[in-house]
Amino acid sequence: MSGDGLTLADLEAPAIAAGSLRGRNVVILGGGRTGQATAAFAAAAGANVTVHDTDTIDRVVGATEAFAGSTIRTSFGDAENLAPLLADADLVVHSPAVTLGFPTVRPAIERDLRTFAAGAIPLVGEGGARGRLLISEPEWALRLLGNRWRVGVTGTKGKSTTSNLIATILARDPSHPVELGGNNGKPLIGRAAALPPETRVVIELSELQLPSLHSSVDVGVFTNVTVDHLDRHGTVSAYRSVKRLLADRIADDGVMVVNLDDPVVAAYGGIGRVEMVGYRLSSPIPGGVGIVDGWIVAAGVLRAPRYGGGVAATGPSGRIMPVGEIALPGEHSVSNVLAAVSVALIAGVAPDAIRSAVSSFTGIPHRLETVAV
């Protein structure tokens, strides 16, 4: 460790701009896109950066190009000797895939990382302690966002489409720039600190990222929770518990947006700690979004306080748009649209803007593409 260590405040944008990472030893665990972006950010802040990955560099997409000719040191193809790198580290940043307790983490890496974690200062509490820090890239990115409005989206299926659609609708409000990142292959770490303060940030969150988060989002969106990724979590119950973590990461004055047609997600809505907007493919519950006579309808959804509070604007009888104008195919796509509409109403986006955005959104690459007719 160089000097007297770091505080949590040293990882925030103002401190970094003032040189808090200059000359510090930073180790990045994971050399993929997330690690590459994190390494570039830390190096630009003046840190001495080393990137470690158990795969050889030729097997990691983009790594050879990312680190060629840079001052960033690399340690690829080594699954046994992490401890020497950690010995002098002030800050260790791990990719979501290198999370303690995941069975996909190599035993030696798990052992050395646990040893480092035992001596690191906690990421919760007052944050005045000084010492070594262990943090994930998603958590660091959230801290760099500061007070910007952030929407976290999770679910077994539909989170990518829903995240992109939310960002598309929010972008129809010219007074607020929109940034999309997270599990979609676009790490936020290199962009978060430079975003305008009024930016709305949409973050796709997988079950890899959720366990390492401590900071909050303003809106947490749940699309659905089915059975998946049992290789990492072992049981259905454990996987569901990981997905539920987003509910615990919603700010006290935030909102939970839940799919009432999914029994697992609907149960999350019963937690009761924050306001809830429920959506379903039938008539909406009070304060929710649903479908009546072929129209997407809102039943008194409240705007976020920072966007004026009160009931969000709609057309007559709460109408937003006809279901038939949705460009995406499939009933599940209608459910994703309802989730995105819920967030847009919370943000105070005008119903005409919502309608225009949804009717022109045809999806994202490699999702529901026609292969033959």
- Judge if 216 and 316 occupy the same domain: yes
Residues 298-333: pLDDT tens digits? 999 999 999 999 999 999 999 999 999 999 998 889
Q: What is the pLDDT at residue 369?
A: 43
- Judge if 105 and 150 occupy the same domain: no
**Residue 3 included in any domain:** no
Residue keyed to tokens 């986006």: 349
**Residue 372 included in any domain:** no
Structure tokens at 3: 């000097």
**Residue 80 included in any domain:** yes
- Judge if 206 and 282 occupy the same domain: yes
Q: What is the pLDDT at residue 234?
A: 53
- Judge if 351 and 210 occupy the same domain: yes
CATH code of residue 67? 3.40.50.720
Domain that holds residue 135: 8-140
Q: Is the pLDDT of residue 117 over 80?
A: yes
Look at residues 142, 145, 152 and name the one whose alpha carbon lies nearest to residue 219: 152
Residues 154-168: pLDDT tens digits? 988 888 999 999 999
> What is the Cα–Cα distance from 133 to 121, expressed in whole angstroms?
6
**Is the alpha carbon torsion for 251, 254, 258, 260 positive or negative?**
positive
Task: Mean pLDDT check: name the lowest of 198-212, 240-254, 343-357.
Answer: 240-254
Q: Is the pLDDT of residue 370 over 60?
A: no
Task: Mean pLDDT check: name the lowest of 10-19, 28-37, 120-129.
Answer: 120-129
- Judge if 34 and 176 occupy the same domain: no
- Judge if 103 and 190 occupy the same domain: no
Q: What is the pLDDT at residue 227?
A: 60
- Judge if 41 and 180 occupy the same domain: no
CATH code of residue 190? 3.40.1190.10
User: End-to-end distance of the chain based on CA atoms, in angstroms?
Assistant: 62
The residue that leads in pLDDT, 209 or 242, is 209
For residue 308, what are the contacts with CB-CB under 8 A and spacing of at least 6?
Answer: 348
**Residue 278 included in any domain:** yes
Residue keyed to tokens 């795969």: 55
Domain end, chosen from 140, 175, 209, is at: 140
> What is the Cα–Cα distance from 51 to 43, expressed in whole angstroms?
11
Q: Please, which pLDDT band fits residue 290 given cuts at 50, 70 and 90?
A: very high
Contacts by 350-356 with C-beta closer than 8 Å and gap 24+? 350/172, 350/173, 350/313, 351/313, 351/314, 351/315, 351/319, 351/320, 351/321, 353/169, 353/172, 353/173, 354/169, 354/172, 354/320, 354/321, 355/320, 355/321, 355/325, 356/172
Enter the pTM of the model.
Answer: 0.92
- Judge if 134 and 235 occupy the same domain: no
Q: What is the mean pLDDT of the chain?
A: 91
Q: What is the pLDDT at residue 373?
A: 38
Domain end, chosen from 88, 109, 140, is at: 140
Domain end, chosen from 121, 140, 159, is at: 140
Q: What is the pLDDT at residue 228?
A: 52
Paired with 237 in beta bridges are none
Contact 5, 23 (CB under 8 A): no
> What is the Cα–Cα distance from 179 to 170, expressed in whole angstroms?
10
Q: What is the pLDDT at residue 127?
A: 63
Q: What is the pLDDT at residue 97?
A: 82
Q: Is the pLDDT of residue 350 over 80?
A: yes
The residue that leads in pLDDT, 207 or 210, is 210
**Residue 238 included in any domain:** yes
Q: What is the pLDDT at residue 143?
A: 96
- Judge if 154 and 71 occupy the same domain: no
Q: Is the pLDDT of residue 230 over 50?
A: no
Burial 92-119 (b: 16+ CB within 10 A, else e): bbbbbbbbeebeebeeebbebbeebeee
Share of the chain above pLDDT 90, in %: 75
- Judge if 186 and 47 occupy the same domain: no
Mean pLDDT of 61-90: 93
DSSP string, 154-215: E-SSSHHHHHHHHHHHHTT-TTS-EEEEETTS--STTTGGGS-TT-EEEEE--TTTGGG--S
> What is the Cα–Cα distance from 264 to 282, expressed in whole angstroms?
18
**Residue 2 included in any domain:** no
**Residue 127 included in any domain:** yes
Task: Mean pLDDT check: name the lowest of 69-73, 222-226, 229-233, 276-280.
Answer: 229-233
Helices 159-170, 331-346: crossing angle, 10 deg rounding: 40
> What is the Cα–Cα distance from 340 to 168, expressed in whole angstroms?
9
For residue 14, what are the contacts with CB-CB under 8 A and spacing of at least 6?
Answer: none
- Judge if 323 and 293 occupy the same domain: yes
Contact 243, 154 (CB under 8 A): yes
Task: Please give the tally of structural domains in the chain.
Answer: 2
**Residue 365 included in any domain:** no
- Judge if 290 and 190 occupy the same domain: yes
